[in-house]
Amino acid sequence: LICLFVCIALKLVENSSLGHPQGDAEHAVDGDRDTNYMKGSCTHSKAELNPWWRVDLGKVYSISKVAITNRGDCCKKINGAVIRIGNFLDIYSNTICAVISTLADGATATFSCGGMEGRYMIVHIPGYKKILSLSEVGVYGYLAGNLAVDGATTQSSTFTSWFAEKAIDSNRGLQQNTSCSSTLDETNPWWRLDLRDVYKISEVVITNRNDCCAEQINGAEIHIGNSLEINGNNNPICAVIPAIPAGESYSYSCGGMEGRYLNLIIPGDMKTLILCEVEVYGEGLTMSHVFVNKTVRSINTFLMSKQPLLIHIICLFV
């Protein structure tokens, strides 16, 4: 089964309050499916006004769905909880994904968020003297925006300080020597981007140098795939660049081609490959199951140290 969305590595989890010693915020993402609160696998806030639980995803993601598992031993405390997604630490500035009207003890419900974008996912219960208790929370989606910025680059050779990574520095190249990549003059020069995961690529945007020699990009091929055979240059072709005017950015549709590696290569002798920006747009491939490898400190430690709680996600693909 091919998966549709990448798993999200959770960076920081936090409760509005700590109601009981075993109710730490990270229990909602510890991978423990036991829904009995007394077994130490659920969160628990104090009885307070508008209690909340928040996860910082570290980056902006397009969220497809959120899965909530209720505690199974008692209480129906989750009823009326609101799920919000957005980029603000102020809870109410974020957009509502769903309202949990009711959820049976020990049950799991999935709520579609339709690609809402945000860095923070919050669950809160409006009202006075409310208690928020969560057994497990799952967030599914993929990185929003330009996928290239989180990748790793290399190229066949490097001209002085025109390093490969300058093609993904989010600077489209007003200053050529500080924001563009360049190979030496050579046979079949190439540049490669490792997206670090397999994506369905919808669009690639290439920005050409704006000082001179715009014709150097002519004939460049864009390849996408999962093979490193011939340094990745043997992967299927998305497009061939006939020409790009100096300083212009042209977009090439790749129709959902799947791949981890994106290559640009110019076939021929004594060619130079110069790229002032490469942008990649698409979506990740899905996981069917998520398990969490818990390597976190308690919320008490977080409150004292102000250091992020690190959680490593392990995905099992089937």
pLDDT value of residue 211: 85
pLDDT value of residue 202: 93
pLDDT value of residue 57: 86
Number of H helices and E strands in the chain, helices first, is 2, 16
Distance (Å, whole) CA 11 – CA 118: 14
pLDDT value of residue 175: 63
**Cα end-to-end distance, the chain, whole Å:** 6
C-alpha of 86 from chain center:
14
Torsion of CA 238, 244, 248, 253, to 10 degrees: -20
C-alpha dist (Å) from residue 239 to 17, 69, 148, 199: 54, 45, 17, 17
Q: Which domains does the chain have, with CATH numbers?
A: 12-144+286-316 (2.60.120.260), 147-284 (2.60.120.260)
pLDDT value of residue 38: 67
Decide: residue 162, CB within 10 A, 0-12 exposed, 13-18 middle, 19+ buried.
Answer: buried
Q: Show pLDDT as tens, one digit a residue, over the chain (318 residues).
A: 223 334 454 457 777 776 666 777 788 777 777 777 667 778 888 899 999 999 988 888 889 899 999 988 887 789 999 999 999 999 999 999 999 999 999 999 999 998 899 999 999 999 999 999 999 898 888 777 899 998 999 999 999 999 999 999 998 875 666 899 999 999 999 999 999 989 999 999 999 999 889 999 999 999 999 999 999 999 999 999 999 999 999 999 999 999 999 999 999 999 999 999 999 999 876 433 332 332 222 233 223 323 333 333 333 333
pLDDT value of residue 23: 77
Among 297, 300, 314, 292, CA closest to 28: 292
Distance (Å, whole) CA 49 – CA 184: 64
Quickly list DSSP for 71-107. -SSS--TTTTEEEEEES-SSGGGSEEEEEE----TT-
Name the amino acid, one letter, at 120.
Y
